[in-house]
Amino acid sequence: MVNVLQSKRDSSRFQILVEIAAHQPNLRQKEVADRLGVTPQAISEYIKELVADGLVTTDGRMRYRITKEGVEWLLESAAELKRYARVVMEEIISHVSVWAAIARTRVREGERVSLIMEMGLLYALPLDTRIEASGIAISDAGPGEDLGVSDLRGLISLDEGKVTVCKVPRVQLGGTRSVDLAALSGLLREGIMVGALGLEGLVALRKAGREPDILFGAKEAAVEAAFHGLSTLVVSVDEQVPGLLNRLESEGLKYELIDLSK
């Protein structure tokens, strides 16, 4: 059996089959794309593969049905996911006994504290019943100090970040002289992390009055930031945009592409 946990591709196939089973025969590819965080073109390619593999049938008019083989594959994959989830909960999470957090106020050893995620960092603050996640401090800590927290209970709320990709032309096509700098300046809002891909991306940001927070490794930094709930703006030379978008789609992350060419 194919293990749906082995790759992003198999995970996407699993999710698309679930959507087809739930909405057959009428499936709106754009809605599925929005839910999965990929492009409609990617959904179309996945469905072609599912049809070729005999897991889905189509009458050629955007109407799809899951086959008997598709149902069996879905059930087997769901069972594998269930087994994996049990391993994570029983054998992995139980071994993670202490989490690192930053104390928002003075904390005493043995005190139960509430836990929140802000700007990608975990903070401990006085117990607040309105906050679901909490834990026990394993030592004293002053404001701003690192603090070990055990006996974690509840879920830590975290919204996935979004990546805004701003495409600028390569120097052979005019470079930053062909960039709408006013539009770029309007996107550089306070508090957003900014990265540059390519020399043209760096110069465009400098012309807009902003030094990038990330110059090298902006692609991976944007991915990590999104996983920690932080939104990022990456100004990229056009030739590096496809690689960046493929990376974001492979991780199932939300993004917006803006062409800054005049």
Closest CA to 114 of 96, 129, 99: 129
Q: Which two tokens stand for residue 78?
A: 């769901």
Residue 1 has a pLDDT of: 36
CATH topology of domain 8-92: Arc Repressor Mutant, subunit A (1.10.10)
Residues 6+ apart with CB under 8 A from 157: 116, 117, 132, 133
**Residues 101/104/105/107 CA torsion (nearest 10 deg):** -10
Which overall architecture, per CATH, does domain 162-259 show?
3-Layer(aba) Sandwich (3.40)
Q: Give the angle subtended at the CA of 122 by the CAs of 120 and 128, to the nearest 5°.
A: 125
Residue 72 has a pLDDT of: 87
CA distances from 16 to 35, 38, 149, 153, 239 (A): 10, 11, 39, 33, 30
Residue 146 has a pLDDT of: 94
**How many Å apart are CA 191 and CA 73, to the nearest integer?**
45
Fold match flag (8-92 vs 162-259): no
**How many Å apart are CA 148 and CA 138, to the nearest integer?**
6
Would you kindly state where each structural domain of the chain is located, as residue ranges? 8-92, 99-153, 162-259
Residue 4 has a pLDDT of: 42
Which of the residues in the chain have pLDDT under 70? Answer: 1-8, 83-96, 158-159
Residue 160 has a pLDDT of: 73
Q: How many residues does the chain have?
A: 262
DSSP the chain: ---TTS-HHHHHHHHHHHHHHHHTTB--HHHHHHHHTS-HHHHHHHHHHHHHTTSEEE-SSSBEEE-HHHHHHHHHHHHHHHHHHHHIIIIIGGG---EEEEESS-B-TT-EEEEEEETTEEEEEE--TTSS-EEEESS-B-TT-EEEEEEEES----PPPEEEEEEE--GGGTGGGGB-HHHHHHH--TT-EEEEESHHHHHHHHHTT---SBSSSHHHHHHHHHHTT--EEEEEEGGGHHHHHHHHHHTT-EEEEEE-B-
